[in-house]
Amino acid sequence: MNAASGVAIASAATQWQRLRALIRKEARQLLRDQSNILVGIALPVILILIFGYGLSFDVKNMPLAVVLEDASPTAHDVVSGFYLSPYFTPITLASLHEAEQLMLARKVDGILYLRTDFSRQLAAGNASIQLLVNGVDANRGRIMQGYARGALAQWAAKRASTGAANPAGAVTIEQRLWFNEANNSTHFLVPGLIVLIMTLIGALLTALVMAREWERGTLEALFVTPVRATEILIGKIVPYFGLGLIGLTLCMLAAKLLFAVPVRGSLLLILLASMLYLLVSLAIGLLISAAVKNQFLASQIALLTGFLPALMLSGFIFDLRSLPMAVRGISRVLPATYYVELLQTLFLAGNVWVLIVRDCAVLAFFAAVLLTLARINTRKELD
């Protein structure tokens, strides 16, 4: 062993010691303030409960006013399907005016209207039923129209099969919903929730903590010590990385135990993808704080560039296929988009290697670029 390599080993040892001391300091600082713990652990729990129990796109029991101006048995027969359907809770009324009052007061979401001469028209083979829906919630209105059409089509099919002498054929649809046979929206909301929590802990919390140190000048105090800028960054990243993994564990447990979301892909891959994304969002947080060095601006920018796009533009709630090209372009450069796709695939579809390899590579690329940028922006200098 020559002298030079001895020095190298000794300096590697002190470097490691410095790093350990830094990480310990950051971890203590993290644990000391109860508001950090609130965001790191309590908020995931609150969100899990809200997402698992509160949010649902599965519409059932929509209140519907059924106005029967024609009270004949035929008319009753036509609407009978609505009373049996799990999607509607119908109220029978005699006048349209009454129903409109209920709709204005938001007591019903729609009105099914059969006019006085309905059964006479039906006998003549030319009857119509009116469905009025409240369009203020467009999605709900559309779902209601779909179910109403289904209920009437069933009635028509039954009637055709009993009465007609010379039936014409009809196309029927056998529908199979892959990956989510139960058609349960919790199954795609819970993976999306993991994305939100990782973004929150990574980008928002780190941006805030780091901006505070810049603003108060405590980083400058660190700069006069022998620690390198890279070591400062690693010291910051490690505790928050740990906090992120705790959040992930909580979500995975809730997904499995509370909501029975299937995990069809490999757990190891989910962990790997989450670690990559966590690095990306930590880097975003560090980059923002180093760039603005101000708590108010850092939190606003983290919110506007990290959290809101992860909620609205990542394909987690709103489907990316409906976006105009320009907006889709924005979603393509968001790391969250790839993480959402990875998680939805790994949870519900399984190990689809083509997708997984591509998305993980993209995340790794983002992590490398953003961490490098954060390192370049964190220089040991005073301004």
Partner 1 sequence: MRDSLHRILILCRKELLAILKDPRSRIVLFVPAILQSLIFGYAATYDLNTVPYAVLDQDHSAASRDLIAQIEGSGIFRRVLQLQVPQQIAPAINRKQALLVLHIGQGFERALTAGDSAAVQLVLDGRNSNTAATASGYISTIVEGFNARWQQSHGQGAAPLRLEMRAWYNPNLETRWNMIPSLIAALSMLQTLMLTALSVAREREQGTFDQLLVTPLRPREIMVGKAVPSIFIGLVQASAILLVALLWFRIPFAGSFLTLYTSLLMFTIASVGIGLAISAFSANMQQAMLYTFVLLMPMMLLSGLTSPISNMPEAMQYLTLANPLRYAIEMVQRIYLEGVGFAWIVNDLWPLGLIAAVTLPAAAWLFRHRLV
Q: 73-112: b or e for each residue (b if 16 or more CB lie within 10 Å)?
A: eebbebbebbeebebbebeebeebeebbebbeeeebbbbb
- Contacts to partner 1 from residues 26-45, by CB under 8 A: 33, 35-36, 38-39, 42-43
CA angle 68, 73, 79 (to 5 degrees): 50
Answer for which of 152, 234, 364, 373 binds partner 1 (CB under 8 A) is 152
- Contacts to partner 1 from residues 181-200, by CB under 8 A: 181, 183-185, 187-188, 200
CA angle 118, 123, 124 (to 5 degrees): 95
Q: Sketch the per residue contact string, 57 through 86, with partner 1: x for CB under 8 A, - otherwise.
A: xxxx-----------------x--------
State the Cα–Cα distance between residues 79 and 120, nearest whole angstrom.
16
Nearer to partner 1, 304 or 368 (CB): 304
Q: How far is CA 378 from CA 48, 186, 215, 347, 370, in A?
A: 35, 41, 14, 37, 12
Question: What backbone torsions phi and psi does residue 227 show, to the nearest 5 degrees?
Answer: -60, 145
Minimum Å gap between C-beta 22 and partner 1 is 20
Minimum Å gap between C-beta 52 and partner 1 is 10
Nearer to partner 1, 16 or 53 (CB): 53
Task: Put the strands of the sheet holding 110-114 in their side by side order.
Answer: 88-93, 62-68, 110-114
- Contacts to partner 1 from residues 120-149, by CB under 8 A: 122, 125-143, 145-146, 148-149
The amino acid that residue 154 corresponds to is Q
Nearer to partner 1, 68 or 301 (CB): 301
CB 86 within 8 A of CB 150: no
Nearer to partner 1, 52 or 371 (CB): 52
Neighbours of 304 (CB within 10 A): 10
Minimum Å gap between C-beta 21 and partner 1 is 23
Q: Sketch the per residue contact string, 250 through 289, with partner 1: x for CB under 8 A, - otherwise.
A: ----------------------------------------
Residue 214, C-beta contacts closer than 8 angstroms, at least 6 positions apart: 289, 290, 293, 294
Nearer to partner 1, 19 or 281 (CB): 281
State the Cα–Cα distance between residues 361 and 243, nearest whole angstrom.
24
* Token reading at 371: 């961490």
The amino acid that residue 65 corresponds to is A
Answer for which of 102, 245, 263, 355 binds partner 1 (CB under 8 A) is 355
Answer for which of 227, 258, 349, 364 binds partner 1 (CB under 8 A) is 349
State the Cα–Cα distance between residues 4 and 114, nearest whole angstrom.
95
Q: How far is CA 195 from CA 44, 148, 202, in A?
A: 11, 36, 10
- Inter-helix orientation angle 295-302/267-292, to 10°: 140
Nearer to partner 1, 196 or 280 (CB): 196
CB 211 within 8 A of CB 293: yes
Minimum Å gap between C-beta 77 and partner 1 is 12
Residue 34, C-beta contacts closer than 8 angstroms, at least 6 positions apart: none
Find where tokens 């940028």 sit: 373
Nearer to partner 1, 134 or 377 (CB): 134
Nearer to partner 1, 6 or 150 (CB): 150
Minimum Å gap between C-beta 123 and partner 1 is 9
Answer for which of 83, 179, 241, 365 binds partner 1 (CB under 8 A) is 179
Binding region for partner 1 (CB under 8 A) out of 65-73, 98-106, 226-234, 273-281: 98-106
Q: Sketch the per residue contact string, 314 through 333, with partner 1: x for CB under 8 A, - otherwise.
A: -x-xxx-xxxx--x--xx--
162 binds partner 1 (CB under 8 A): no
* Token reading at 271: 């962990």
Minimum Å gap between C-beta 230 and partner 1 is 25
